[in-house]
Amino acid sequence: MDYSTTYGYWRVIARTCHYTIPDNLPRPEYIGDKPCPEDRLEEVTIGQLIEMGEAQGPDTDYRICEIMLGYDKQQTDECRAVEVVPFISWIGRQIKAINKLFEGISHKPTAKEKQAGIEKLQFGLFGMLDWYAKRMGITDHDEVLSVPWMRIYKCMEMDNLVQQYEKRYNEIALREARRKKR
């Protein structure tokens, strides 16, 4: 692709050729006149992350550029394709990596918990937003949508570690008490 090719033109050609954006393109420095974030999207709010994760269909790329850069469709089309295409690829990888982080700290139910029906307590994204709102004393769930995802992740990670510690501690205390009874 030529360096001066606009994204709008490239998109028309790519659609004709049934081209899909590879997920291994490097992060660009700039998209139009805006710098590409250097970190793992750490300042992105949980609301923006949810919006980008739920964006599907033929205009996903435009939605991502709107959320991340504030560009409308026309502004995105006017950017260079050599900037926008890698940006969309990079964003996709970052969202997958963030989702993996959340999966990595999610509670793995025990056999007893499964038997008791813990699967019925899986509330998805709303459950996570509700948990954070309760944890922070927030009464309006929409406020949580403006919190950076990294803050929610860290709070969830800390709470899970504390919960695991308390569970281990209680098991040790129970064993000690049984041993003393003998």
171: pLDDT confidence band, cut at 50, 70 and 90? very high
Which of 88, 104, 120 finishes a domain?
A: 104
At 3 the pLDDT is 83
Surface-to-core class of residue 32, CB atoms within 10 Å of its CB (0-12 exposed, 13-18 middle, 19+ buried)? middle
In a shared domain, residues 66 and 100: yes
> Is pLDDT above 80 for 1?
no
What predicted TM-score, i.e. pTM, was given to this entire model?
Answer: 0.84
- Would residue 21 count as lying in a domain? yes
Q: Identify the domain containing residue 161 by its residue range.
A: 107-181
- Would residue 2 count as lying in a domain? no
Question: Tokens 């394709």 identify what position?
Answer: 81
Three-state DSSP at 45 gives strand
- Kindly state whether residue 67 falls inside one of the protein's structural domains: yes
pLDDT in tens, 125-168: 888 999 999 999 999 999 999 999 999 999 999 999 999 999 99
Into how many domains does the chain fold?
A: 2
26 and 100 in a single domain? The answer is yes
